[in-house]
Amino acid sequence: MSGALKEVRNRIKSVQSTQQITKAMKMVSAAKLRRAQDAIIQMRPYAQKLQEMLGNIVGNAEGDINLALAKERPVEKVLLIVITSDRGLCGGYNSNLIKLAKLDIHEKYAVQFAKGNVQILPLGKRGYEHFTKNHYNVIDRFWNIFSDLSFEHVAEAAKYAMDAFSKGEIDAVDVVYSEFKNAATQKFIAEPFLPVKKSAPHKGGTKADFIFEPGKEVLLQELMPKILNTQLYKAILDSHASEHGARMTAMDKATDNANELLKVLKISYNRARQAAITTELTEIVSGAAALQG
């Protein structure tokens, strides 16, 4: 019986050690989440207003203005920007993003994918590893963007997509990311990035009359890339906050599961201990009875 006691005791120590790790990871993720949440909350209204403004300008631009990033053409070649995390242990966060990316490919771009005309631009190690392992057409350039997250590095990735689109190498660009709602909730989104979509006119609304200074075409060519950089940076910040929220929630659940397992193991340990004591007492009583006999 001592062997069984030792085995249960070792399992209890192992679970307690794991629980300490999950508690520590939860606290670290909670601290990182606060900073990431503050960043996206401050960024979101600015990015949304810029996106609205860009859509309005493109929608009201005259036909003679050459807007390379808003030019719609038959979609032959596609670029999918997939934003995942660098690390795991965050529940189904990465798997849900990868699943959505594949769904976007097979439902929206099945014909292009069959021809080998779908490229993946992964931002984050987990997405890069998955799509590389599964032999997708992966662009090996910006997957480590979270190792030094900054607006400048995100702008480089956005510029790559914009340059490819402007040159006609790519006909459509989608972004797959997780929109941060709160620590326990993320919304997984696949949305168009290029070409720039025109804002639908409001019912009963009037056409906006913009005054451009300097000239309209010069201003738009300068303004559009900056706004698109901001849109991708906003998606990155959303994903960054979502990752830490998902990891904090996952580690909290893991800690609770460890507590439940410890309760079961302690009951098993006490039962085994009581059985051992009972056996020893029985042996002692039996021995005493034999001596008296």
Annotated active-site residue 77? The verdict is no
Query: What would the two tokens of residue 56 be?
Result: 């309005």
Do 265 and 32 touch, CB atoms closer than 8 A? no
Cα atoms in the Cβ-side hemisphere of radius 13 Å centred on 193: 32
Do 265 and 11 touch, CB atoms closer than 8 A? yes
DSSP state of 135: T
Closest to 142 measured CA to CA, from 168, 175, 117: 175
Residue tagged active-site, from 90, 220, 236, 248: 90
Rg (alpha carbons) of the chain, rounded to whole number:
29
CA 45 to chain centre: 21
Distance CA 161, CA 168 (A): 11
Question: In Å, what is the CA distance from 98 to each residue of 39, 91, 160, 212, 289?
Answer: 25, 13, 22, 42, 72
Q: Which residues are catalytic?
A: 90
